Structure 1
C-alpha cells in the first residue's frame, strides 16, 4: 500500500515505523533527514526512528523527534517472563528519553474511553500505575530512595465529559505544575499483526483519536507548556486497510494465472478503491476492526506498559516493591 491509498481513505498512520516504511517504499530509497536504528532482544525487537529535518517531517507527517517502537508478538501469549522482559525494555527506552531531575514531578494521563475496550488502554494503564505524589505529603516513611512524585488521571473523552481532554490536562498542569507529562493512548495500526504486540514511545506528544478519524487538540509541549512523552499501543485496524491487504494477496494468487491477472489489469486503476468505498459506505468509510479477545489483550498489555513506566520513573523500585505499593 502506498501513501495515495491512505490519503484516499483519510487514514492517519499512528506508528512512525509504518509511516517510514510507506514513504520509503514510495520513494524507493532511504528518507533524507530520518535516522533508523534497530535492536534485537530475546522476546522483542526495537526500531528507533529519529526525524531530524523539516523535509522528513513533511514527508512522513510526523513531528521532528524520537519514535521508539517495541515489537513483541509474545505480548499476546500468557508468558510472564516475556512480558517482564518487554516491560524492562520499555522502562529502559522510556528512561533514555527522560531529561528531568531525580525529584521531578510527573503527571501520567490515560487517554481514552473506559467504556469501549479497544479505547480503554489509557485508563487501564492508570489502574496499574504506581502513583506516589500523595505519599510525599501524607506518608513519607513509606517512600524509598529513587522514587519520584507521580500523579495520574484518566480524563475520559469529550463524549463522556463534554470537555476537551486537552482542557482538562491544562487545568491539572496549572494546578500541580509537573515537569513532565506521560500520556498513554490506544492507536490504530496498518496491520492486524501489530494489535497488542507493538508499543510506540514518542517524545513529540500526541494527537488523540487521529488514527480513527477524530480530530482533537494536540497534546504536546506547545499546548501544555510541559514536555510530553506519548506511549501508544495499536488496538484497532482500519477496515479499508484489511480489505486492501486482502485484495493484494488475492492478486498475488492471480498472477499464477496470466489470463485472469490480465483481466484485472484491464480494469480501471481506481476500481479496487471504488469497491472498498462501496462496502464501507454505511460507516462513511470509517470502520475500525478489533479482535474479539481484545479484553484480555488490553488487560495484559496495560500491566506491561504500567510496569515499564513505573520502573522508568522509579528506578529504585523492584518488581516486588512495585506489587507491594499497588496493593
Structure 2
C-alpha cells in the first residue's frame, strides 16, 4: 500500500513531531515550565526539522488546560495568566515593545461555530488606535496602540484573507501582527483545550485541507504571532483514538482482572486513560492483528486511505463547542489585552 499521498492533518507542531520521526531530533529544543499549576511546553524547531515534519522553523509554545472543559472561573483565570506569560515572551523575542503599533486579526467564519474563535476574540479585544489618532496627549501610560479586525473568509468576501490583511497593514503601518485562528488536531484530547502560540505565522485553513496564502513575517515583512486552538478533528483521528483507547481499556482489564474491586463494579468503569498503558506488541497483534502493530503514522494514513476517497473523513467538533468558544475567547482576548497594555495587566483597568 502506498500511504505517502495521505497527509496527517494537524496544525500543532508538537503533534507533527510525535507523528513523524526526524533524523534531526537533536536539533529540536524542548523545555517545560510551570505557571499556576499549568504546564507550558516550549519547542524550538530548526530548518531541517521543519522540512521533515512540514512545519515552519521557529518558536512554538503549547498550553494544555482542562479549564475549558470544566468551565471553572478560577481555572480559566489561571489559564489566562499562563497564556499572558507566553504571549509576552513571544512578543519580547520578536522585539515588540509597548511603543510598537499592533494589529490583532481574527481569522475564521463567524457563522460557523468551531471556526468562529478568531472573530469572537476580536469582539473582546481592547482597541486603542483611535485614541492615539484623536487625542494622543490624553492616552495614559501603559496603553499601547492596538487595532483589530476580522477579515472574514473568502467564501463570503471573494477576497483572499492575506490580501485583506496586507492592505490594512500597508495602510495603517503597524509594527506587528497577532493572528488568532481555529486549528485542527489529530488527538481528541487536544480539542478545545490546547492553545498554541508561535512566531512562525499561520496558513489559514491548512489543518482542514483548505490552505490559503501564508500570513507570516516572510510574507508580511513584520513579526506575526499566531495564537490557535484546535476546535475540530477528522473522522480518521476519532477512529484511531478510539482504537487506541480500546487497547488501553483491554490492557487495563487484563492487568486488573484478579483485583477484588473488579468483582463489585456494576456497569461501565471510568478509567484514567492518561495513566492506562498500551498492551505489549504481542497482545496488540492478538487483539487487532497486523493493524495493532502499525506505527501511529501508518495507522492514521491507512484510516485516511479508507475514509477520504468516499468523503467519510469529515471534520467533527464537540456538541458543547459554543460554550468552549466563549470561554476560549475570553481567555485569549484577556491574555492579549494584558500582554499589550500594562495598565490592564496591572489591574488598573479591566
Same fold (TM over 0.5): yes
TM-score after normalising by structure 1 = 0.86
Counterpart check, 1:126 vs 2:122: yes
1:106-255 to 2 correspondence within 5 Å? 106-140=102-136, 143-251=139-247
Aligned partners of 2:85 and 2:145: how far apart in 1?
19
TM-score after normalising by structure 2 = 0.81
The answer (yes or no) to whether the contact 1:69–1:199 under 8 Å persists in 2 is yes
Aligned partners of 1:224 and 1:208: how far apart in 2?
14
Aligned partners of 1:116 and 1:31: how far apart in 2?
38
Deviations 1:212-254 (A, max 9, x none): 1112000001211111010001101111011122233445567
Describe the shift of the 1:317–1:282 C-alpha distance in structure 2 as closer, same or farther (beyond 3 A): same
Alignment equivalent of 1:291, drawn from 312, 318, 321: 318
Counterpart check, 1:265 vs 2:289: yes
Shift of 1:137: 2.1
Secondary structure at the counterpart of residue 87 of structure 1: helix
Aligned partners of 2:41 and 2:180: how far apart in 1?
19
Secondary structure at the counterpart of residue 151 of structure 2: strand
Deviations 1:244-266 (A, max 9, x none): 22233445567769899548426
Task: Provide the residue aligned with 2:99 in structure 1.
Answer: 103
Secondary structure at the counterpart of residue 200 of structure 2: coil
Shift of 1:295: 0.4
Task: Provide the residue aligned with 2:274 in structure 1.
Answer: none
Aligned partners of 1:322 and 1:168: how far apart in 2?
32
Secondary structure at the counterpart of residue 216 of structure 1: coil
The answer (yes or no) to whether the contact 2:307–2:313 under 8 Å persists in 1 is no
Q: Which residues of structure 1 form unaligned runs of 5+?
A: none
Secondary structure at the counterpart of residue 210 of structure 2: coil
Task: Provide the residue aligned with 1:14 in structure 2.
Answer: 11
The answer (yes or no) to whether the contact 2:13–2:55 under 8 Å persists in 1 is yes
The answer (yes or no) to whether the contact 2:65–2:79 under 8 Å persists in 1 is yes
Please say which of residues 269-278 and 168-177 is displaced more in the overlay.
269-278
Deviations 1:23-48 (A, max 9, x none): 3xx46x98121100011234421100
Give the alignment's Cα RMSD to 1 decimal: 2.9
Q: Which residues of structure 2 form unaligned runs of 5+?
A: 255-278
Describe the shift of the 1:40–1:137 C-alpha distance in structure 2 as closer, same or farther (beyond 3 A): same
Deviations 1:94-141 (A, max 9, x none): 111221232111000000000000000000000000110001122446
Secondary structure at the counterpart of residue 156 of structure 1: coil
Aligned partners of 1:311 and 1:272: how far apart in 2?
40
Counterpart check, 1:54 vs 2:47: yes
Secondary structure at the counterpart of residue 304 of structure 1: helix
Describe the shift of the 1:181–1:250 C-alpha distance in structure 2 as closer, same or farther (beyond 3 A): same
Aligned residues: 314
Aligned partners of 2:78 and 2:290: how far apart in 1?
51
The answer (yes or no) to whether the contact 1:130–1:322 under 8 Å persists in 2 is no
Please say which of residues 85-94 and 183-192 is displaced more in the overlay.
85-94
Task: Provide the residue aligned with 2:342 in structure 1.
Answer: 315
